[in-house]
Amino acid sequence: MCQERLVQEAVDTLLDNGIRGQPMRDGHNRVYKSFSDIIEGKEGRFRETLLGKRVDYSGRSVIVVGPLLSLHQCGLPREIAIELFQIFVIRDLIRQHVASNIAIAKSKIREKEPIVWEILREVMQGHPILLNRAPTLHRLGIQAFQPILVEGRAICLHPLVCKGFNADFDGDQMAVHVPLSLEAQAEARLLMFSHMNLLSPTIGDPVCVPTQDMLIGLYILTIGNPRGICANRYNQYNESCRNYKKETVDNNDCYNNDCQYTKEKEPYFSSSYDALGAYRQKRIHLDSPFWLRWRLDQRVVGSREVPIELQYESFGNYNEIYKHYQIVGSIKRETRCIYIRTTVGHLSFYREIEEAIQGFCRAYS
């Protein structure tokens, strides 16, 4: 009976060491590894070897934010890109007679010659990649992007596509896959590109919504005086004088030369490049209002809006000044030019939206 019990304990320990309390140890006080220890867990036989398979043309790295990317782009490190697209680079090196065989082409890739990076960029321009973040719980867990070469060893991702992946930039990792066949590439471009998946497939809500730092940045860009042109043009005295008047005892002190109403001259710019250049030279601030010449083919005045001021010149030319616009007309009642009243922040925001729309149209076409 005692021998049967010892045999049973030995079999139990062989199957699961520690099931009877204290695990058995060897002479060096190390715990014996049982069959269950070999099988179970992430590094066990099933998940590590049998279920987990290596995939060709794939990679994995940490994601970081890439705010300068377009919505359909992702930044791919050089180290990963040259491994994923190596076979395509070798083919083009031989086709362009830069290398005579595969061995010479691989040696040029190992030496990182400049021609290799040029060919790699050409290959990546016409080849989308797939990014996947585990666990893939819904359709937006894997999306297609246009790869862009970046420095470093991390994958750059546009912050607006994070919601679909349920990703954030605190150490999350994403896998990269390269579609090889023409059918797979066409499916990636037509169905899986990030700019084609702007709405949730379940409830239809927008997925690419600005949050956190993006909202703060938009607020700072578009902040301004809500009274517009009336804040300085039609006040008896400016805001700083009113605040000073509340703090002083003698009301007469408010009417000195510094606090009296002054009509500040707002600068005029003929193009957005001139305005941004003045901002870089620190001649104007981010929220400083100025007049920017606008295109005549764009309507800026409502049909029922009336000007708040009319200015006539000696030669018959006139200026119609609205709250946020200014129309310069000739003696023949023809519109010569239009100026809009804006700030550097509003202008930068408008340019970003315009470039995003153009990038979307190029990607869609």
Same structural domain for residues 183 and 68? yes
Regarding whether 172 and 80 lie in a shared domain, the answer is: yes
Decide which of 276 and 333 is more confident.
Answer: 276
**Is 93 within a domain?**
no
CATH of the domain at 163: 2.40.40.20
- Name the H helices within the chain: 2-15, 35-39, 45, 78-84, 86-95, 102-111, 114-125, 162-165, 182-187, 213-222, 230-233, 239-247, 272-280, 344-364
Q: Are residues 191 and 248 in the same domain?
A: no
Question: Strand, helix or coil at 149?
Answer: strand
Do both 45 and 78 map to the same domain? no
Percent of the chain topping pLDDT 70: 85
3 state DSSP class of 139: helix
Query: What is the C-alpha separation between 330 and 135, in angstroms, rounded?
Result: 66
Q: How many domains does the chain have?
A: 4
- Residues 180 and 279 grouped into a single domain: no
Both 62 and 136 in a single domain?
yes
Confidence of residue 260 (pLDDT cuts 50, 70, 90): very low
Sorted by sequence, the CB contacts under 8 Å of residue 262 that are 6+ apart come out as 238
The answer to whether the CB of 144 falls within 8 A of the CB of 128 is: yes
CA distance 163 to 171: 16
Query: Residue 103: inside a domain, yes or no?
Result: no
pTM of the model: 0.65
Same domain, 278 and 231: no
**Do residues 191 and 65 share a domain?**
yes
- Model confidence at 26, in pLDDT bands (50, 70, 90)? confident
Domain that holds residue 322: 268-364
Q: Is 174 exposed, middle or buried (0-12, 13-18, 19+ CB in 10 A)?
A: buried
- The tens digit of pLDDT for each residue in 150-200 reads 999 999 999 889 888 988 889 899 999 999 999 999 999 999 998 888 888
Pair (64, 20) in one structural domain: no
